[in-house]
Amino acid sequence: MATAFWGIITLGILIFVHELGHFLVAKSTGVKVLRFSLGFGPRLLGWKKGETEYLICLLPFGGYVQMHGERKGEPDGSDEPPILPDDDRAFTNKGVGTRMAIVAAGPLTNLLLPFVILPLAYMVGVQSPSYLKAPPQVGYVVSDSAASGQGLMPGDRLLQVDTTDVHTWEEANTAFAATTGDKALLTLERQGQPVRVLMPRTAGETYDLRSVGIFPEQPPVLGDVFVGEPAQQAGLREGDRIETIDGKPIASWYDVGPAINEAGGRLIEVTALRNGERLSFSMTPQKNDKGRYLIGISPKQETTLKRYAPVDAIRAGTDKTVELMRLTGDFLRQLVAGKISADNIGGPVMIVQTAGEAAQTGVASTLLFLAFLSIQLGFLNLLPVPVLDGGHLLFFLIELVFRRPLPAAAQEVALKFGLVLLLTLMGLALFNDFSRFFS
């Protein structure tokens, strides 16, 4: 119950921010706003201030701002008279640039929100991997990577990146990301002897050492064991330390994935230590949509709480926002291209559940999830689908280019198509939600 409550509150904040964007730009450009509603359906609470009625309605999955004169020559659906051509407070009588600004304000406000709340999350304090404060000793080198090609080996200790001394993984990653050439000079200590390596990188690209195949040590201890997956069904638990997979010794977490994938879809035997006792488990890996075989586990990751000073928090929050935008854009492109299964689409049930769980974890987790969801909501609404804000922006763009609006009949057909498409996507999202819930 608490999860659902906090989930609805979180979703309500995002809807409020979105509609507030429309509302503020409409008011600032002189458009009369008749209603500002959070939610749809039967009214739970309402009041009127000035010319605007404010509502909170029963169904929390949406909201709207109703403006005077949204359709030319038609009444608003309230007690307002039909819109006259000289009515300068009617939305439809405003210039196309003004109308585009009002419509775009909702999703753009969602995209701007993370730039405000993520710095707050970093000031409150976020959990970061403990290894970032550990000495930068190489634990694993990815085969066929840039690091492997330059001869790096497990046990190498990073001393310098170019001319910068590094004492922790965090310092090493930061120094590597700050290099500007197409190669970075790494100074290592190997068996007490200094070794210098020129590490290739793409000019102008910002990334950490993992991108070239250098990873810290990660013991093969289980963190999450996902419900319903082969590992959980076989009896593996959080805290188990994997010793062998199909008879192959496992010394590092990075050995786990290749060993499972090599076995393919056949039955495998996994031995693990639990409280000093060696146990054996049988399971069959499952193939995911990327062609990899998995058993549903993740490593145990020790974390520490890190609080940032205001200036550092603004920088970290901005970087994180840009990263989330890039990831969301990549996801949408791959989804449209058919490279990601539609099973990954989540609906309101999943959103409320995840938001509620984040809210109960802590303030920083709530703000991070709120930012992530706000970016998704902003991108989704900018898609050029009739009914969504992006579809209306497309209509206005056509009007701007051809100096006249799209014929009303064509708009009606497009809106009906967009509504069918949106309802289909919502149906798929709800189906996925309930499938996850009941499984």
- Same domain? 295 vs 335: no
Tell me if 190 is assigned to some domain.
yes
Q: Check residue 361 and give its pLDDT.
A: 65
Q: Check residue 208 and give its pLDDT.
A: 79
CATH of the domain at 290: 2.30.42.10
- Same domain? 340 vs 385: yes
Q: How confident is the model at residue 4 (pLDDT cuts 50, 70, 90)?
A: low
Tell me if 84 is assigned to some domain.
no
pLDDT tens per residue, range 385-412? 888 889 889 989 988 888 888 888 888 8
- Same domain? 439 vs 348: yes
- Same domain? 393 vs 364: yes
CA distances (Å), origin 424, targets 59, 120, 322, 342, 431: 19, 37, 30, 12, 10
Q: How many domains does the chain have?
A: 3
Whole-prediction pTM:
0.66
- Same domain? 287 vs 388: no
Please tell me the least confidently modeled range out of 27-36, 133-142, 196-205, 336-345.
336-345
Tell me if 35 is assigned to some domain.
no
- Same domain? 159 vs 200: yes
Tell me if 87 is assigned to some domain.
no
Q: Give me the domain span that covers residue 147.
A: 131-215
Instruction: For residues 369-396, give the mean pLDDT.
Output: 88
Q: Check residue 207 and give its pLDDT.
A: 65
pLDDT tens per residue, range 213-244? 899 988 999 998 998 899 999 999 999 999 99
Is the pLDDT at 2 greater than 70? The verdict is no
Tell me if 412 is assigned to some domain.
yes
- Same domain? 111 vs 159: no
- Same domain? 424 vs 312: yes
Q: How confident is the model at residue 205 (pLDDT cuts 50, 70, 90)?
A: very low
Of 215, 250, 271, the last residue of a domain is 215
Q: Check residue 196 and give its pLDDT.
A: 93
pLDDT tens per residue, range 257-292? 889 988 888 899 999 999 989 999 999 999 887 788
Tell me if 366 is assigned to some domain.
yes
- Same domain? 292 vs 325: no
Catalytic residue from among 19, 171, 277, 323: 19
- Same domain? 418 vs 318: yes
- Same domain? 326 vs 419: yes
Question: Beta-carbon neighbour count of residue 173 at 10 Å?
Answer: 21
Tell me if 391 is assigned to some domain.
yes
Of 274, 300, 326, the last residue of a domain is 300
Tell me if 36 is assigned to some domain.
no
Instruction: For residues 400-427, give the mean pLDDT.
Output: 81
Q: How confident is the model at residue 376 (pLDDT cuts 50, 70, 90)?
A: confident
Q: Establish whether 217 is a catalytic residue.
A: no
Question: What are the structure tokens assigned to 186, written together?
Answer: 């790494």
Q: Check residue 183 and give its pLDDT.
A: 84
- Same domain? 296 vs 321: no
pLDDT tens per residue, range 294-324? 999 999 988 888 889 999 999 999 988 988 8
Of 193, 215, 237, the last residue of a domain is 215
